[in-house]
Structures are given as structure tokens and as C-alpha cells.
Amino acid sequence: MDLMYDELSILQKTDHPHVTRVFDVIEDKKNFYVVMELITGGDLMAKVVKMHHFSEDHAVRIVH
């Protein structure tokens, strides 16, 4: 639990264009609710599956 709190605290302080922002963390007796930046356009895995082929060149462009 301490590691999760630490990570969420760090993410709340992070402001970088390639890291999803965390705005707030709310906790009740059973759950944690993390209020995060909305990221649109789908996830990377879905795009890789749709491509049927994922080359090193594609990976370089995404990481860049």
C-alpha cells in the first residue's frame, strides 16, 4: 500500500507531456478512485494488433 501511495503522490506532482496526469486520489473503505487525465485515441495494444506486424521502426517512432 505504501508503494501505491508513493507512486500516486509522485504522479500527482509530475507534469510531462508523455505521462498521464493524476489529478486526485479518493479512498473509501473498499476502493481507491484515481482521477486522471482523459487520453483518447485507443490503446497501444489495440493498434499493434490491428497492424498485424509491428517492426522495430514502428517502435522507434512511437517511443520518439
* CB of 20 closer than 8 Å to CB of 8: no
Domain limits for position 14: 2-63
- Which has the higher per-residue pLDDT, 6 or 58? 6
Split into its structural domains, the chain has a count of: 1
Q: Is the pLDDT of residue 64 over 80?
A: no
Query: What's the CA gap between 34 and 24, in Å, rounded?
Result: 6
pLDDT for 14-60, tens place per residue? 999 888 999 999 999 999 899 999 988 888 788 888 888 888 898 88
* CB of 25 closer than 8 Å to CB of 12: yes
**b/e per residue, 7-23, with b = 16+ CB within 10 A?**
eeeebeeeeeeeeeebe
pTM of the predicted model as reported, rounded to 2 decimal places: 0.62
Query: What's the CA gap between 7 and 37, in Å, rounded?
Result: 16
What CATH number did the domain enclosing 19 receive?
3.30.200.20
